[in-house]
Amino acid sequence: MSKGEWLKTIGNAMLDLVYPPGLYCISCGKITDDSRTYRLCNECMQSMNWITARHCEKCGRPLADTDPGALCFGCSRREVSGPPFSFDKGHACAGYGAVEQSVIFAFKYGGYADIGDIMGEILYDRMISEYGRDELASMYDLVLPIPSHRDRRLRRGFDHAALMAEGFAKRAGLQFDPGMIVRTRATVPMKGLGPHERLLNIKGAFSLKNSRSSLAEGARILLIDDIFTTGATVDEAAGLLKEHGASRVDFLAFAGGADIIAG
Ligand SMILES: [Zn+2]
Ligand SMILES: [Zn+2]
């Protein structure tokens, strides 16, 4: 641990003494209490872009009023000009706006690892609202997080998607494996890259752990990530799993939509 990281750890430990965890809104940081749903204050709860209405049948992102059919602009364009996505179906809990961005920032960059479990609960509620508990429990053989690169994980002290996936899988009663997909190289942040550059950036960035790659054969898999924008990252992982024989690969993201930032 570097001196800077050590000081940060001590600093956080002292903050925890003064401000016990679980008292703050996970988006705006205002004092609230942990009896609140998802630990969001009233204002943030109401400002979340919860996906309750029309969303894309393929990728799950919210549809704009100007989207005429069942698919978003990106998915309908792919239908026509390809290449098809490797994943089968996507789900998102909320459209990606300011409140969603704050939650993701507090979790990933603010060091509040406990937000991962709350996001797991949000993911779970999203899925049972569509499928119900029993159907969800029998839908997938494996829940896998999209892994961060080791360097980023070490900097943050945790793998954010793994915490979300664990929180989701334990509620759903599904098998969770945080180590099956491995990030083999660091990628530059997707922010600021165009769609084609994103594809190149992520191409070949994942592999399956040798000892577990046979588990993909015939498996129905649910991938978990914090945000879905162009779909390049999740599709790269889905393609790899399909190459190893996965029969179905869906994904579930906390937020989906237009790109403000991306990780
Ligand atoms: Zn708030
Ligand atoms: Zn779509």
Q: Do residues 257 and 93 touch, judged by C-beta distance below 8 A?
A: no
pLDDT at 189 over 50: yes
Place of tokens 């309908």: 76
Q: Please, which pLDDT band fits residue 226 given cuts at 50, 70 and 90?
A: very high
Q: Write down the pLDDT at residue 254.
A: 97
Q: Please, which pLDDT band fits residue 111 given cuts at 50, 70 and 90?
A: confident
Q: Write down the pLDDT at residue 15.
A: 52
Ligand closest to CA 31: 1
Q: What 3 state SS string does 29-91 have? A: CCECCCCCHHHCCHHHHHHCCECCCCECCCCCCECCCCCCCCCCHHHHHHHHHCCCCCCCEEE
pLDDT at 150 over 60: yes
Q: Ligand 1 centre from 124 Cα, in Å?
A: 21
Q: Please, which pLDDT band fits residue 262 given cuts at 50, 70 and 90?
A: very low
Q: Write down the pLDDT at residue 115.
A: 93
Q: Ligand 1 centre from 106 Cα, in Å?
A: 12
Distances (CA, A) of 180 to 144, 208, 217: 7, 6, 13
pLDDT at 148 over 60: yes
Q: Write down the pLDDT at residue 68.
A: 83
pLDDT at 260 over 50: no
Q: Write down the pLDDT at residue 261.
A: 40
Q: What is the pTM of this model?
A: 0.87
Q: Write down the pLDDT at residue 263.
A: 37
The structural domains of the chain, with segments of one domain joined by +, span 1-47, 50-256
- Pairwise CA distance, residues 49 & 95, whole Å: 5
Which of the two residues, 33 and 18, has the higher pLDDT score? 33
Instruction: Specify the fold of 50-256.
Output: Rossmann fold (3.40.50)
Q: Ligand 1 centre from 103 Cα, in Å?
A: 9
